Amino acid sequence: MKTYIDNLPKAELHLHIEGTLEPELLFEIANRNHIKIPFESVEAVKAAYQFNCLQDFLDIYYQGAEVLLYERDFYELTYRYLEKCKDQNVKHVEIMFDPQTHTNRGISFQSVITGIRRAMEDAQKHLHVSSFLILSFLRHLSEEAAFETLQQALPFKSWIKAVGLDSSEKGNPPSKFKRVFKAAVQEGWIPLAHAGEEGDATYIWEAIDLLKVQRIDHGNNALQDPNLVAELVKRNVALTVCPLSNKALQVVKSLEEHPLKKMMDVGLKVTVNSDDPAYFGGGINRNFEEIQKALQLGKNELYTIARNSFEYSLLDDKRKQQHLTELETYHLNNMTL
Ligand code: ADE
Ligand code: ZN
């Protein structure tokens, strides 16, 4: 099964670039930029990655991002992740970035986005991994701050495919960002949002009704409300699920209790993703492998998940079809091995 998963052509739709900062690179960049970090070694950093909830993680994640100062840092971070995509047979990745995490420290929006964008272009050329960029607003900050970020992004409008909403969910419902999402849609960006990770089903209702999102990031708590499930199925809104993240942040007690299979059984469209792989113990293939084992998923179910990753990506229909054809050939040749 591991070989089937490792070689399965797939897309990743839920990935925070700041969450790909491996401890080794954290040290390398911190040394180069003369930034002191409160850890002695890579092992000490890894030992600190114990989380009781989303906020525990976010505190460490924002601290880690403080080593990123220059365009070169964002380039390296992104290119290294895209190399990992290549190694894991990820053909296409939709990368979220949190500009406010950087602009609030005095880093220019331009340095951040130019570094990321150059790496995306180089990866397309040299690794044949395609990628889109999702500008994610930090929901613990104000809507006014999100509007400022939107303004800063406008000179780079064509580099951005979609907008997202992340950070501390509880107490920061989608309704807080209704107007800024409307403005983003008017600019031609596609609306997406985290919802139902720690927040209840009402957060997902608001994301689909008020922000008009095409996909929900996480969406675990959708199963609390059968009417919501029916609506997500009817509106064809997919959930980008992140099993190892859910385990690390104690959204689920164990992977055996993860709702992914139940979601599929009730007709929801789900994908499997790594969220913040440097913090949660593994990349996308590890997420597939662990959830497969825990829930006893068969190859047909894994194939469905990989199909969803292309079908619910933001690629155009022609590119989707090319990936789906390659995937189908792969599955037909490997389903009985
Ligand atoms: N930012 C990075 N990872 C996140 C997650 N899992 N939930 C909310 N915000 C995030
Ligand atoms: Zn996320």
Mutate which of 276, 279, 280, 287 for ligand 1? The one with the most ligand atoms within 8 Å of its CB, which is: 276
Residue 222 contacts by C-beta under 8 Å, 6 or more apart in sequence?
196, 201, 204, 216, 228, 229, 232, 239, 263, 268
What ligand has the least distance to the C-alpha of 239? 2
**How far, in Å, from the CA of 55 to the mean position of ligand 2?**
13
- Nearest ligand by distance to the CA of 55: 1
Compute, in angstroms, the gap from residue 127 CA to the centroid of ligand 1: 27
CATH number at residue 182: 3.20.20.140
Average pLDDT, the chain: 98
Atom of ligand 1 nearest to the CA of 98: 1
For residue 326, the CA-to-ligand 2 centroid distance in Å is 28
Q: What is the pLDDT of residue 270?
A: 98
The predicted structure's pLDDT at residue 242: 99
Closest ligand 1 atom to residue 16 Cα is: 2
Residue 337 pLDDT grade (very low, low, confident, very high; cuts 50, 70, 90): confident
Identify residues whose C-beta is under 5 A from ligand 2, the ion: 275
First to last CA, the chain: 9
What is the whole-number distance in angstroms between the Cα of residue 218 and the centre of ligand 2? 7
Residue 174 has pLDDT above 90, yes or no: yes
And the tokens for 78?
Answer: 């992104």
Structural tokens at position 303: 């194939």
Given the CA of residue 245, which atom of ligand 1 is nearest to it? 6
Residue 52 alpha carbon to ligand 1 centre in Å: 14
Token reading at 242: 């992140």
Taking the centre of ligand 2 as the mean of its atom positions, its distance from the CA of residue 68, in whole angstroms, is 19
pLDDT at 89 over 90: yes
Residue 185: predicted pLDDT? 98
Closest CA to 12 of 165, 217, 172, 221: 217
- Residue of minimum CA distance from atom 10 in ligand 1: 167
Question: What strands lie across the sheet with 162-166, from one edge to the other?
Answer: 10-16, 90-97, 130-138, 162-166, 190-195, 215-218, 238-241, 270-272
- Which atom of ligand 1 is nearest the CA belonging to 276? 3
User: pLDDT value at position 308?
Assistant: 99
Per residue in 268-289, pLDDT (tens digit) is 999 999 999 999 999 999 999 9
C-alpha 47, offset from chain centre: 23
Among the atoms of ligand 1, which is closest to the Cα of residue 218? Answer: 6
Structural domain boundaries enclosing 230: 2-334
- Total domains in the chain come to 1
pLDDT in tens, 125-150: 999 999 999 999 999 999 999 999 99
Mean pLDDT on 79-100:
98
Query: Distance between CA 324 and CA 329 in Å, rounded?
Result: 9
Position 141, amino acid = L
Average pLDDT over residues 309-333: 98
DSSP label of 239:
E
* Ligand 1, CB within 6 Å, residue ranges: 16, 19, 54, 61, 166-167, 194, 197, 245, 275-276
Stretch 201-227: mean pLDDT: 98
**Nearest Cα residue to atom 8 of ligand 1:** 167
- Torsion sign across C-alpha atoms 248, 2, 315, 222: negative
Task: Give me the active site residues, please.
Answer: 197
Q: What is the pLDDT of residue 325?
A: 98
Question: Is residue 164 within 8 Å of 217, Cβ to Cβ?
Answer: yes
Q: What is the pLDDT of residue 330?
A: 98
Q: pLDDT per residue over 110-121, tens digit each? A: 999 999 999 999
pLDDT at position 204 is 99
Q: Mean pLDDT, to the nearest integer, of 101-124?
A: 98
Mutate to test the pocket of ligand 1, among 194, 246, 251, 273 (most ligand atoms within 8 A of CB): 194
Alpha-carbon Rg for the chain in angstroms: 19
Q: Can you list the positions of beta strands (E) in 149-237?
A: 162-166, 190-195, 215-218
Q: What angle do CA 167, 169, 173 make, to 5 degrees?
A: 120
Segment 197-212 mean pLDDT: 98
